[in-house]
Amino acid sequence: MSIPLQLTVNGERRDLVLEDPRVTLLDALRERLQLTGTKKGCDRGQCGACTVLVDGARVNACLALAVSHDGARIETVEGLARGEALHPVQAAFIAHDAFQCGFCTPGQIMSAVGLIREMRAAGETAVDVERVREGMSGNLCRCGAYAGITEAVVAAAQTEDAA
Amino acid sequence: MNLFEYIRAGSVAEAVAAGALPGTAYLAAGTNLLDLMKGGVAAPARLVDITRLPGLDGIAVAADGATHIGALVRNSALASHPHIAKTYPMVAEALLAGASAQLRNAATTAGNLMQRTRCPYFYDTASPCNKRRPGSGCQAVGGATRLHAVLGHSPHCIAVHASDLCVPLAALGAVVEIAGAGGTRTVPLGEFHRLPEDHPERETVLEPGDLVTGLILPAEAAAFAGHGRYLKVRDRTSYAFATVSAAAALTLDGDRIGAGRLALGGVAAKPWRVAEAEAVLAGAAPGADAFGRAADALLAGAAPSGPANAFKIELARRTVVRALTLAQAGTPARMPALPASPFARSAGALHA
Q: Encode chain A (163 residues) as per-residue pLDDT tens digits.
A: 799 999 999 999 999 999 999 999 999 999 999 999 999 999 999 999 999 999 999 999 999 999 999 999 999 999 999 999 999 999 999 999 999 999 999 999 999 999 999 999 999 888 999 999 999 999 999 999 999 999 999 999 999 888 7
Q: What is the pLDDT, as a whole number, of residue B171?
A: 98
pLDDT of residue B344: 80
Number of domains in chain B: 2
Residue B272 resides in a domain: yes
The C-alpha atoms of residue A123 and residue B222 are separated, in whole angstroms, by 25
Please tell me the predicted confidence (pLDDT) of residue B348: 45
Average pLDDT, chain A: 97
Interface test with A, best of B50, B102, B238, B338 (most A CBs within 10 A): B102
Determine if the pTM surpasses 0.80: yes
Task: Say which CATH class A3-79 falls into.
Answer: alpha beta
AA identity, residue A77:
V
| pLDDT tens for each residue of A115-159 | 999 999 999 888 999 999 999 999 999 999 999 999 999 999 999
DSSP secondary-structure letter at A30? Answer: I
Query: Do A137 and B239 lie within an 8 Å CB cutoff?
Result: yes
Mean pLDDT, residues B17-25: 97
Residues linked to residue B259 through DSSP beta bridges, in sequence order: B251
Mean predicted confidence (pLDDT) in B271-295: 98
| Percentage of the residues of chain A whose pLDDT score is greater than 90 | 95
CATH number, domain with residue B287: 3.30.390.50
How distant is the Cα of A81 from the closest Cα of chain B, in angstroms?
A: 22
Which homologous superfamily is A88-157 in?
Answer: [2Fe-2S]-binding domain (1.10.150.120)
Q: Is the ipTM of this complex over 0.95?
A: yes
pLDDT of residue B346: 52
Question: For B2-12, how does the pLDDT look when each residue is reduced to its tens digit (9 = 90+)?
Answer: 999 999 999 99
Nearest residue to B203 via CA among B167, B152, B239, B136: B152
Q: Which of A48, A59, A115 sits opposite B106 (nearest CB)?
A: A59
Structural domain range at position B299: 223-340
In a domain, B236, yes or no: yes
Helix (H) or strand (E) holding A9: strand A3-9
* pLDDT 10s digits, B100-129: 999 999 999 999 999 999 999 999 999 999
Sign of CA dihedral B284, B289, B293, B294: positive
The answer to whether position B99 is within a domain reads no
pLDDT at A163: 79
For A65, the closest chain B residue by CA position comes to: B30
Residue B330 lies in a domain: yes
CB B74 within 8 A of CB B31: no
